[in-house]
Chains A and B, each alone.
Chain A
Amino acid sequence: MYARFGSGEGRSEGTGELLKKAASYGTGLGWLAFGALVATIIATVTRLAGPAYVRQGLDAVGIADRQALFRSVWWFVGALVLQYISQAISQYWVSGVGEKYLADLRVQAFRHLIDLDVDFFSRSKAGVLVSRLTSDIEALTQFVKEGAINVVTSVLTVIGVTIAMFLIDVSLALAVLALMPVLLAVSVVFRIYADRAYEQVREHIGRVLGAIQEGISGVRVVQAYTQEQRQRIEFGRVNERYFDANIAAAKAISAYFPAVDFLRTAGLALILVVGGQRVLDGDMTFGALVAFLLYLNWFFEPIVQISNLYNLLQAALAALSKLLGILDRQPAVPAPTSPIDLPTVAGRLSFESVRFAYDPTVPILKGIDLDIVAGERIAIVGETGSGKSTLAKLAVRFYDPSSGSIRLDDVELSSVSFEDLRRGVSLVPQEGFLFAGTLRDNIRYARPDATDDEIWLVCETLGIADWVRSLPEELDTEVRERGSRFSSGERQLVALGRALLAGPSVIVLDEATSNLDPETEAVVEAALATLLEGRTAIVIAHRLATAERADRVVVMDDGEIVEVGHHADLIVANGPYARLNAVWQAAGGASPPDGVR
């Protein structure tokens, strides 16, 4: 399943099924779409009426009937007014319906994505997911905006012109239609060749952009090894291949359009020869011949248009298929169907024979039993890959265990509504992720309705109020703007403030590993202590001091708990924890002097 997203391949559904699914995102747009179609039909018919009035007028000229001439002109002008109005409405409605559909799709697709489980996000590349919701929707936009209206108009025009030509003169119409197979054949050949050429173009532009990107981000290494010359030559090669691909496409275009242009002249010549003889023979009026010539302009253009739109349609279908790949996916961690109410959470968390595996053949957790009482502070230690992060994610129900049970205050985690669960249990990620926006928005992220008084109280409690006051615009400071970019310690503090304002009973904390300067370090430590006070805490520890301060240390190795106990007792026991401790000590070298920490 995952491979599908990784490779970005589409699904093997039929076009019809794809379109049906896509249409289901545009509910309520049916009548608008119908109105748009009616307007388009009126616009096309009035446009096609033009040459008919020219014919009437010219025939009137032929018999020197001034009144009939003016009647035709006024009808013509009237039709043009109607044409303008209906075409404007049609343009506005068709595109408007499309835009509305896209706006709905953007929101619905995002809502669906964001409700998927964390597991899905950690296994997918963020860039791929973002492009599903942006560039793939843009590919649809292209078609909806430019494609849909042109397809409808072009098809209607071809049909209308064909009917009009047959109405004027059957044999002449047949003569012009004889060119149709040639035009179609030329268009198909061009399409096949151009598709291939454009695929090459797309592939090579990707390479060119990739090479530039790498050239820029790797520029320091390039200069350090004085490989500028070689880089230039290699880039020149990639760039030249892109040029070649473009020129191949250019050749196709440069051959196709003249061919179509010549076919149009051939059509003109046919009309002049066949029609001219019929006029001379007296089988056809002069006005009819000129009307025919005017229709000819509208006969070739739509077919070329449709051929061009085919490309847009293909791109749109490919994008749609990829998008539906996400929209069809159901969250692996579903909301409970009949949730058990848990208005207040005391904070007891118990794991019973919990097993977990992303891939059934590679178990990550192999039977975890752990009872954490309310208000207890647990430090989990272990090497990378021991399963400690997974345990933390299970505790906040980012994943469900493969077997066994996790209970919060004696209620199965999977039976608690997400609302109650998120209020009761929070994971505070290590990196201190900040959203674009103000400091205020970031602190009250979990509770957007919190008042400034509450936010300041949180800042006071955590001991960061002075720091906030020192910022240029206090709570209104934009966290991502140039110049006020927060340091990693400051980001952690904001994350802690966010957690405190959310006020969960259980906190799961993935400790930060990044370097802080001593002053900030001290502030973060103190803030953390305040936050954890009176709450159940599960801390994935990277620092010796954190393990030392915990009520119990849980040592994990290869998906199992190998030791549980207080730091001092475990040192005495001289087991796995004592060994790990020794490695830490060695890596740290001499202990820092007193008073530094």
Chain B
Amino acid sequence: MIDPGTRRGIRLLFSLLVGYRREAILSTVSAFVWMVMVIVGPYLTKLVIDRAIDGNRRDLLFPLVGAVLAAGVIKALGVGGRRYFAFLLSYRAETDLRNRIFEHIQRLEFTYHDETPTGELMSRASSDLSQVRLVYAMLPITIANVAMFVVVVAVMLSIDVTLGAIVSLAVPLLLYIANTYARRVIEIATDVQQKLADNTAVIAEAIGGIRVVKSYGQEAQETAKVHLAAIGIYERSMELIKNRAIFIPLFELVAPLATAVILGMGGLRVIEGALTPGEFYQFAEYMVILNFPLRLTGWFFAEIPRASAAGGRVLELLKTAPEITDPKQPVDIPPGPGDIRFSDVYFQYPDGSPVLDGFDLHVPGGRSVAVVGATGSGKTTVAYLLARFYDVTGGKVLLDGVDVRSVRLGDLRNEVAVVFEETFLFSASIRDNIAFGNPDASDQQVRLAARLAQAHEFITETANGYDSMIGERGYSLSGGQRQRIALARAVLRDPRVLILDDATSSVDAVTEDEIRDALKTVMAGRTTIIIAHRPSTLLLADQVIFIEEGKVVASGTHMDLLERIPRYGAVLASSEVV
């Protein structure tokens, strides 16, 4: 009945629960206290009715009502404890898991992130975790509820076997109906969610492409798309509503229907003297009490497959081992000028497509090399192998004579700074962005780095200077300005090797002009690898290598290659934009 995937998910959910034993036990114990009092309450009321009122014992009235109140106090405490500890358990588990996910994501290598969409990782850390949390929050009360069903049925049978048996049949029946309903609703609701997401996509697309929409006056066409999406949502939602209209009144019908049955059958037995009026009340009250727990339990079991699937996805992510880690016995990088050697390097993507195919390169310390190649020729791979964002599949990469895989990642990346093609700035102050790699850097050091990167001037022109916030809600910088902040961030570490990965490709010619000056100053005295295709940037390098099909096919100065290698000119021209 339960498929193996779900069973595995459930096992995983339970294995995680062990860490929160204390909260789980406290909540379940409180839930049991609550449950017992829920059952005792109507019994005490029965005593009041039968003994004090029906039995005409005024003296018993106050003590027995006192007992009802006392049970009420204990029940309230049970409810409070059950809720509080269940919240504590579920939020603690969610928070801890989210920390673990975040930490894990940070450690997974570039190739993993290349292939995994951001949205997917986001939903691991948000919606999947909510699913898991919900099940944890519901677990204590569900355990108590199941126990409650058993006890209530036993109590009813003990009061009156016939009546008890009839009424007890309602329990599994209701549980079945509640579970059926919940499964249907969950299925349709998931579908409605998907339709809502589709609708959002249509709207986002129309707004993103508003200039095309307006250029061709196609507002009506876009409205028709939204109309279609809205009807889709409407129709599916109406199905949901139909199910609710059938089932919810049904749930509400059960308790009074049972009361009517009890009234008829029980009334006769009261007349016959087989049942007391208090017991009649007790029966009716139990049906009212059972109603909501039955629905909740039905719903809980309907949620289990989804939650265990979500939990399974989360744990799968956490089990994905980072492939690029510190070596077991790391060596120190010896002092050196930043001499780089690629020796017979092979690299292929996880899917097997080859990128570098016997790649050799030697860059003496302090020299600069520009790497030119067509899209997909492996330029960026060269840079990433050096900083160990990727690991070679064959051969080795040496920095000042040691294999980059034999040193600590922190040490390596401290000496090899990369400025990426797409500048990423954090939503933080300009200062914090520059000091990202060295949080302890002094203001003076930050300013010096900014000056080197030709960024100091425009930073001081912003409203709050180095304290100006950037990012979505902050100051918006131009592409060239962002690029120079990234450059300052790199030089603040004073690395032996600087890698500029297509850092000037996405800016216009005038901005590139500004960045070029900055590059000149930061490159001085540092081994630099420049990945670029603009002639003006290429001229900054001492040497240009041209790679095709994973190998170096030519090297020399820019002018030299332009003359000798026709393909070189063609590759450059294809990306040249005036």
A and B assemble together? yes
Question: Shortest distance in angstroms between B505's beta carbon and chain A's nearest beta carbon?
Answer: 7
* List of B residues within 8 angstroms of A273 by Cβ: 61-62, 65
The answer to whether B92 and A435 have CB atoms under 8 Å apart is no
Q: Mark A117-137, 1 if CB is under 8 A from B, else 0.
A: 010010000100110011000
Complex: A429 Cα to B208 Cα, angstroms: 12
Closest to B324 in A: A223
Complex: A14 Cα to B277 Cα, angstroms: 54
The answer to whether B106 and A103 have CB atoms under 8 Å apart is no
The answer to whether A220 and B574 have CB atoms under 8 Å apart is no
Complex: A513 Cα to B197 Cα, angstroms: 32
Q: Mark A39-64, 1 if CB is under 8 A from B, else 0.
A: 00001000100100110011011001
* In the assembled complex, B257 has its CB within 8 A of some CB on chain A: yes
Complex: A253 Cα to B137 Cα, angstroms: 14
* In the assembled complex, B223 has its CB within 8 A of some CB on chain A: yes
Complex: A506 Cα to B560 Cα, angstroms: 46
24 sampled A-B residue pairs with Cβ under 8 A? A73-B260, A73-B263, A91-B248, A91-B249, A92-B241, A100-B234, A110-B226, A212-B122, A219-B113, A223-B110, A225-B437, A246-B91, A250-B83, A268-B72, A277-B61, A290-B284, A433-B211, A445-B212, A446-B218, A498-B216, A587-B512, A589-B558, A596-B570, A597-B573
Closest to B227 in A: A107
* In the assembled complex, A77 has its CB within 8 A of some CB on chain B: yes
Q: Mark B72-105, 1 if CB is under 8 A from A, else 0.
A: 1101110111011001100110010011001101
Q: Mark B565-578, 1 if CB is under 8 A from A, else 0.
A: 01001101111111
The answer to whether B574 and A518 have CB atoms under 8 Å apart is yes
* List of A residues within 8 angstroms of B493 by Cβ: 225
Complex: A44 Cα to B249 Cα, angstroms: 11
Which of B62, B88, B118, B257 meets A250, CB within 8 Å? B88
- Tell whether A226 pairs with B413 under 8 Å between CB atoms, given A107-B223, A110-B203, A243-B91: yes
The answer to whether B573 and A91 have CB atoms under 8 Å apart is no
Question: Shortest distance in angstroms between A541's beta carbon and chain B's nearest beta carbon?
Answer: 9
Complex: A231 Cα to B281 Cα, angstroms: 61
The answer to whether A235 and B102 have CB atoms under 8 Å apart is yes
The answer to whether A586 and B113 have CB atoms under 8 Å apart is no
* In the assembled complex, A473 has its CB within 8 A of some CB on chain B: no
* List of A residues within 8 angstroms of B562 by Cβ: 590, 593
Complex: A77 Cα to B49 Cα, angstroms: 26
* List of A residues within 8 angstroms of B250 by Cβ: 84
Which of A50, A110, A502 meets B223, CB within 8 Å? A110
The answer to whether A58 and B200 have CB atoms under 8 Å apart is no
**Within residues 400 to 452 of chain B, which ones have a CB less than 8 A from any CB in chain A?**
409-410, 413-414, 417-418, 420, 424, 426-427, 436-437, 439
* In the assembled complex, A72 has its CB within 8 A of some CB on chain B: yes
**Within residues 501 to 550 of chain A, which ones have a CB less than 8 A from any CB in chain B?**
502, 513-518, 521, 542-545
Question: Shortest distance in angstroms between A232's beta carbon and chain B's nearest beta carbon?
Answer: 5
* List of A residues within 8 angstroms of B1 by Cβ: none
* List of A residues within 8 angstroms of B88 by Cβ: 247, 250
- Tell whether A265 pairs with B41 under 8 Å between CB atoms, given A95-B244, A99-B237: yes
The answer to whether B204 and A76 have CB atoms under 8 Å apart is no
Complex: A223 Cα to B509 Cα, angstroms: 31
Complex: A277 Cα to B83 Cα, angstroms: 37
* List of A residues within 8 angstroms of B426 by Cβ: 214, 218, 221
Closest to A208 in B: B98
The answer to whether B102 and A239 have CB atoms under 8 Å apart is yes
- Tell whether A88 pairs with B245 under 8 Å between CB atoms, given A220-B420, A239-B99, A583-B509: yes
Complex: A433 Cα to B76 Cα, angstroms: 61
Question: Shortest distance in angstroms between A372's beta carbon and chain B's nearest beta carbon?
Answer: 18
Q: Mark A210-246, 1 if CB is under 8 A from B, else 0.
A: 1111111111111111111011100110011011001
* In the assembled complex, A259 has its CB within 8 A of some CB on chain B: yes
Complex: A429 Cα to B215 Cα, angstroms: 9
Which of A60, A134, A272 meets B196, CB within 8 Å? A134
The answer to whether B420 and A593 have CB atoms under 8 Å apart is no
Which of B207, B215, B260, B270 meets A422, CB within 8 Å? B215
The answer to whether A436 and B205 have CB atoms under 8 Å apart is yes
Which of A126, A396, A445, A596 meets B573, CB within 8 Å? A596
* List of A residues within 8 angstroms of B577 by Cβ: 513-515, 542-543
The answer to whether A268 and B45 have CB atoms under 8 Å apart is yes
Could you say which of B7-15, B52-60, B178-186, B363-371 contacts chain A? B52-60
Could you say which of B163-171, B459-467, B520-528, B532-540 contacts chain A? B532-540
What is the count of residue pairs linking A and B with beta-carbon distances less than 8 angstroms? 421
Question: Shortest distance in angstroms between A224's beta carbon and chain B's nearest beta carbon?
Answer: 5
The answer to whether A588 and B267 have CB atoms under 8 Å apart is no
* In the assembled complex, B530 has its CB within 8 A of some CB on chain A: no
Q: Number of A interface residues at 8 Å Cβ cutoff, please give it.
A: 150
* List of B residues within 8 angstroms of A269 by Cβ: 65, 68-69, 72
Main secondary structure of the interface of B (DSSP, over half): helix
The answer to whether A217 and B118 have CB atoms under 8 Å apart is yes
The answer to whether A445 and B68 have CB atoms under 8 Å apart is no
Closest to A446 in B: B216
Question: Shortest distance in angstroms between A370's beta carbon and chain B's nearest beta carbon?
Answer: 21
Complex: A259 Cα to B77 Cα, angstroms: 9
* List of A residues within 8 angstroms of B508 by Cβ: 384, 513, 542
The answer to whether A61 and B267 have CB atoms under 8 Å apart is yes
* In the assembled complex, B19 has its CB within 8 A of some CB on chain A: no
* In the assembled complex, B148 has its CB within 8 A of some CB on chain A: no
- Tell whether A250 pairs with B84 under 8 Å between CB atoms, given A69-B267, A429-B211, A446-B216: yes
* In the assembled complex, A383 has its CB within 8 A of some CB on chain B: yes
Closest to A225 in B: B437
* In the assembled complex, A561 has its CB within 8 A of some CB on chain B: no
The answer to whether A243 and B95 have CB atoms under 8 Å apart is yes
* List of A residues within 8 angstroms of B210 by Cβ: 114, 118, 121
* List of A residues within 8 angstroms of B72 by Cβ: 261-262, 264-266, 268-269
The answer to whether A95 and B413 have CB atoms under 8 Å apart is no
Question: Shortest distance in angstroms between A251's beta carbon and chain B's nearest beta carbon?
Answer: 7
Q: Mark B181-224, 1 if CB is under 8 A from A, else 0.
A: 00000000000000010011111111111111111111101110
- Tell whether A126 pairs with B237 under 8 Å between CB atoms, given A58-B277, A433-B212, A544-B578: no
* In the assembled complex, B71 has its CB within 8 A of some CB on chain A: yes
* List of B residues within 8 angstroms of A597 by Cβ: 573
* List of A residues within 8 angstroms of B474 by Cβ: none
Complex: A402 Cα to B132 Cα, angstroms: 58
* In the assembled complex, B389 has its CB within 8 A of some CB on chain A: yes
Closest to B533 in A: A515
The answer to whether A265 and B578 have CB atoms under 8 Å apart is no
* In the assembled complex, B271 has its CB within 8 A of some CB on chain A: yes
The answer to whether B76 and A232 have CB atoms under 8 Å apart is no
The answer to whether B413 and A224 have CB atoms under 8 Å apart is yes
* List of A residues within 8 angstroms of B218 by Cβ: 445-446
The answer to whether B227 and A422 have CB atoms under 8 Å apart is no
- Tell whether A592 pairs with B226 under 8 Å between CB atoms, given A106-B233, A419-B217, A543-B577: no
* In the assembled complex, A115 has its CB within 8 A of some CB on chain B: yes
* List of B residues within 8 angstroms of A517 by Cβ: 374-375, 574
Closest to A594 in B: B569
Supplied contacts A212-B122, A258-B77, A445-B221, 12 more A-B pairs, CB within 8 Å? A58-B277, A87-B248, A107-B230, A126-B208, A212-B102, A217-B424, A224-B437, A231-B102, A272-B64, A294-B288, A516-B575, A589-B536
